[in-house]
């Protein structure tokens, strides 16, 4: 897939590597993209706006107002216009401002207004690149869902040799092309995802639930939507923002989640069951708040419908079903047994024994087990990165 007719917003910040932005613009235009350029004032010390304006065939912007007439350069419109935004080179200063929302120029304001994917291509001296401040800012930007095009190894302007060189323009274009190709990977596919906890009512003010935040399921939904799939997300009660471009079905109880998933199951090509569904629910729900009286209080519970097992039995039209197993002991054996019992195509296993994995964290460490017993091991990563690992595994099975 090419970049033909893609709208690319290029941000150029103050770095000696800014001279490479001329070739980057030229390559993007050659690929058929429409390019608009925003420069910081510091970037003008390294390359002229006239050069980038000539190559992009569009005016280069750097201020909130345009010249003597005071016309406003609308950063909101710029952010909404683009199919992708690239900040290349991204200096340490610009990375820090973007990571912390410090809006003192048009480039940062446009970044914060962007609804499209944003790519950062850092460029700076070796010691600046490996400084904990820069490392943390890159980590934060990545956790926000941005793409990082890592700096390359080589001779730097200071004379030092190491990481910090701006990725070559050809590599930046390759990463963009790869991203948009991925966007078409699951076009036409329907994906059903469950996420979050369920709440089982005891009385009008109390319920039984668990610690699930929904972060993992939401990251998966976002990844599949970005890959071009039509996504339905059945979510229990959560306090995090819903991903864009996804159809949302809000539920509370396990029974409601069961009814919502069965409604969409037969028309779905891929089903990912990442929700933490209650195994039991109170047999009787009080219609008034239960008062504190007895020293010992007993709630009679009954099993909820096993959503995963039910869907596994109904799998008749070639759906791929992915289950999740969060374990505390005998992890592999329990997960493998669950995969077989519930007729999954594969299961995602994570253990509460692994530091940084499980509920509420922004990170996770998983193993993926397929029906043949093959195990794919992954290191501790952000949940957004884990979602991409799951997506790529499913694509291999589905292709």
Distance CA 97, CA 75 (A): 16
44 token code pair: 């003008």
* Residues 6 or more apart whose Cβ sits within 8 Å of residue 37: 9, 10, 11, 12, 21, 25, 49, 52, 53, 56, 58, 60, 61
C-alpha distances (whole Å) from 168 to each of 153, 154, 171 are: 11, 11, 5
Burial of 291 (0-12, 13-18, 19+ CB in 10 A): exposed
Task: Report the b/e string of 19-56 with b at 16+ CB within 10 A.
Answer: ebbbebbebbbebebbbbbbbbebbeebbebeebbebb
Let me know if 210 is a catalytic residue: yes
- Give the CA dihedral 279, 285, 290, 294, nearest 10 degrees: -60
Angle at CA 140, nearest 5°, toward 135 and 142?
95
Find the catalytic residue in 58, 74, 210, 370.
210
Distance CA 115, CA 104 (A): 20
Count of residues for the chain?
A: 399
Whether the Cβ atoms of residue 308 and residue 315 lie closer than 8 Å to each other: no
Distance CA 208, CA 194 (A): 19
Distance CA 221, CA 28 (A): 30
SS3 label, residue 88: strand
- Residue 168 per-residue DSSP state: P
Distance CA 370, CA 131 (A): 40
C-alpha distances (whole Å) from 8 to each of 89, 129, 382 are: 15, 26, 27
Report the catalytic residues.
Answer: 210
């Amino acid at each position: 897939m090419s970049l033909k007719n893609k709208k690319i917003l290029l941000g150029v910040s103050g770095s000696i590597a800014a001279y490479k932005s001329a070739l980057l613009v030229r390559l993007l235009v050659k690929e058929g993209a429409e390019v608009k350029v925003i420069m910081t004032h510091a970037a003008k010390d390294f390359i002229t706006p006239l050069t980038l304006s000539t190559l992009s065939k569009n005016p280069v912007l750097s201020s909130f107002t345009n010249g003597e007439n005071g016309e406003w350069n609308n950063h909101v419109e710029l952010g909404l216009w683009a199919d992708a935004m690239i900040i290349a080179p991204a200096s340490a200063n610009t990375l820090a401002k973007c990571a912390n929302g410090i809006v003192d120029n048009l480039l940062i304001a446009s970044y914060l207004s962007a609804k499209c994917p944003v790519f950062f291509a850092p460029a700076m001296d070796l010691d600046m690149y490996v400084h904990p401040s820069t490392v943390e800012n890159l980590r934060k930007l990545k956790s926000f869902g941005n793409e990082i095009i890592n700096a390359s190894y080589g001779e730097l302007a200071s004379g030092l040799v190491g990481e910090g060189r701006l990725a070559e323009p050809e590599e930046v274009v390759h990463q963009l092309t790869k991203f948009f190709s991925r966007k078409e990977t699951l076009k036409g596919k329907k994906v059903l995802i469950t996420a979050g906890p369920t709440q089982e009512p005891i009385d009008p003010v109390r319920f039984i639930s668990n610690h699930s935040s929904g972060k993992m399921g939401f990251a998966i939904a976002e990844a599949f939507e970005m890959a071009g799939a039509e996504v339905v997300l059945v979510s229990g009660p959560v306090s995090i923002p819903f991903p864009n471009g996804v159809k949302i079905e809000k539920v509370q109880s396990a029974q409601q989640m069961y009814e919502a998933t069965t409604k969409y199951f037969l028309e779905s090509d891929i089903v990912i069951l990442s929700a933490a569904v209650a195994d039991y629910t109170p047999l009787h729900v009080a219609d008034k708040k239960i008062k504190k009286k007895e020293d010992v209080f007993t709630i009679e519970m009954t099993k909820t419908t096993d959503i995963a097992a039910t869907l596994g039995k109904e799998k008749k039209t070639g759906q791929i079903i992915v289950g999740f197993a969060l374990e505390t002991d005998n992890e592999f054996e329990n997960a493998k047994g669950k995969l077989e019992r519930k007729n999954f195509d594969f299961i995602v296993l994570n253990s509460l024994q692994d530091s940084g994995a499980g509920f509420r964290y922004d990170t996770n460490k998983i193993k993926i087990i397929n029906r043949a017993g093959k195990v794919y091991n992954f290191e501790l990563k952000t949940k957004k990165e884990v979602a991409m690992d799951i997506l790529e595994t499913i694509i291999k099975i589905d292709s």
